């Protein structure tokens, strides 16, 4: 690897160029695997959809849902140009257009408010399989961890916790039990 390659891969240089690498970091933290069925709810980032979807391969399923059709189109173009087979739907987050237990993991980039997160997670429980995971990705420190964990519990997920904080992001993880016990 030459000097220019090392320079181009430097984290500081990437930040100056606007290449924060958050999509790759999120994909590492989520840890999708070959054959996983993945749903990304909102966020408007095709690079994120591609990064979390790439490990699933041809045997997996990568789906994104956006509330705005134009955003959904941009997400689809960005993800497919990265070489990932993806389905993108334009629909409201309160009633997701998917069958029950269709996904192994759902990733929810933190919306503007905790209340918006709560609305997004209510139907997420239905489309994640028993034993599957819901992950919320938020800016570190905002909102309070306890509120995000409480919203995951209220939506019916269990074992909600702050998994990690890295590079200004907070990663929350939870599991879907067989029956909904709102806590």
79 contacts: CB under 8 Å, gap ≥ 6: 46, 47, 49, 50, 53, 62, 64, 86, 88
Residue 44 has pLDDT above 50, yes or no: yes
CB atoms within 10 A of CB 178: 8
User: 149-177: per-residue pLDDT in tens?
Assistant: 999 999 999 999 999 999 999 999 999 99
pLDDT at position 180 is: 81
CA distances (Å), origin 80, targets 54, 58, 84, 85, 155: 10, 13, 5, 6, 32
Res. 112 pLDDT band, cuts 50 70 90? confident
Res. 104 pLDDT band, cuts 50 70 90? very high
Residue 9 has pLDDT above 60, yes or no: no
Q: What is the DSSP string of 1-47?
A: --HHHHHHT-HHHHHHHT---HHHHHHHHHT--TT-EEEEES---HH
pLDDT at position 22 is: 87
| Whole-number average pLDDT of the chain | 86
User: 72-97: per-residue pLDDT in tens?
Assistant: 999 999 999 999 999 999 999 989 99
Q: What is the DSSP string of 150-164?
A: HHHHHTT-EEEEEEE
Res. 15 pLDDT band, cuts 50 70 90? very low
As a three-state string, the secondary structure of 49-71 is HHHHHHHHCCCCEEEEEECCHHH
Q: Residue for token digits 């629909």? A: 91
Domains of the chain, each with CATH number or no CATH: 20-175 (3.40.50.150)
Percentage of the chain lying above the pLDDT 90 cut: 72
pLDDT at position 182 is: 66
Residue 6 has pLDDT above 80, yes or no: no
Region 144-152: what's the mean pLDDT?
90
For residues 73 and 141, the model is more confident at: 73
Describe the strand order of the beta sheet including 128-139 as a list of residue ranges: 87-90, 61-66, 37-41, 103-109, 128-139, 169-175, 158-166
For residues 157 and 143, the model is more confident at: 157
pLDDT at position 7 is: 38
Residue 11 has pLDDT above 50, yes or no: no
């Amino acid at each position: 690897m030459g000097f220019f390659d090392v320079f181009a891969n430097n984290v500081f240089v990437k930040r100056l160029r606007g290449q924060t690498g958050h999509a790759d970091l999120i994909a590492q933290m989520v840890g999708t695997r070959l054959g996983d069925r993945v749903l990304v709810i909102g966020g408007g980032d095709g690079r994120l959809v591609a990064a979390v979807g790439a490990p699933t391969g041809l045997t997996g399923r990568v789906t994104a849902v956006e509330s705005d059709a134009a955003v959904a189109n941009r997400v689809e173009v960005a993800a497919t140009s990265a070489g990932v087979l993806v389905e993108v739907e334009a629909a409201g987050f309160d009633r997701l257009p998917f069958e029950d237990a269709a996904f192994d993991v759902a990733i929810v980039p933190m919306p503007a408010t905790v209340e918006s997160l709560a609305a997004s997670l209510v139907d997420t429980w239905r489309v994640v399989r028993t034993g599957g995971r819901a992950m919320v990705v938020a800016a570190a420190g905002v909102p309070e961890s306890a509120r995000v964990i409480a919203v995951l519990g209220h939506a019916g997920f269990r074992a909600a916790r702050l998994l990690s904080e890295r590079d200004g992001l907070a990663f929350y993880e939870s599991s879907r039990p067989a029956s909904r016990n709102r806590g």
